[in-house]
Amino acid sequence: MPGRMLILPLLFASLDASAASMEDTQDPASAPVPAYSAPIDENANDKATCAAKWDRYHKSQACFAPYQNVDGTMKPGAFEHCTEVKYPAECPI
């Protein structure tokens, strides 16, 4: 019986510690910045700039994909979590 009494406080202490560590990892200030937030010269269409534009566009599309409904509309929260990037028509694929 004393063994069981000792286990309960240890269990509660470990749960409290794991909850505190989860709160630390979910701090919005420490959230990673999206890779497509780097400034790009929108008027340039050289090879490197076009590659960066296509990469940024594809990352934006991947972010929006889970929020897209079958009929093409977006679920709530899509524009709060993702950044809309226009199709880089000036750059060849």
71-81 confidence digits (pLDDT tens): 989 999 999 99
- Whether the CB-CB separation of 93 and 54 falls below 8 Å is answered with yes
Which pLDDT band, with edges at 50, 70 and 90, does 6 fall under?
A: low
What is the pLDDT at residue 35?
46
Q: What pLDDT is attached to residue 25?
A: 44
Coil, strand, or helix at residue 68? Answer: strand
Reported confidence tier of residue 41, pLDDT bands at 50, 70, 90: confident
State if pTM tops 0.75.
no
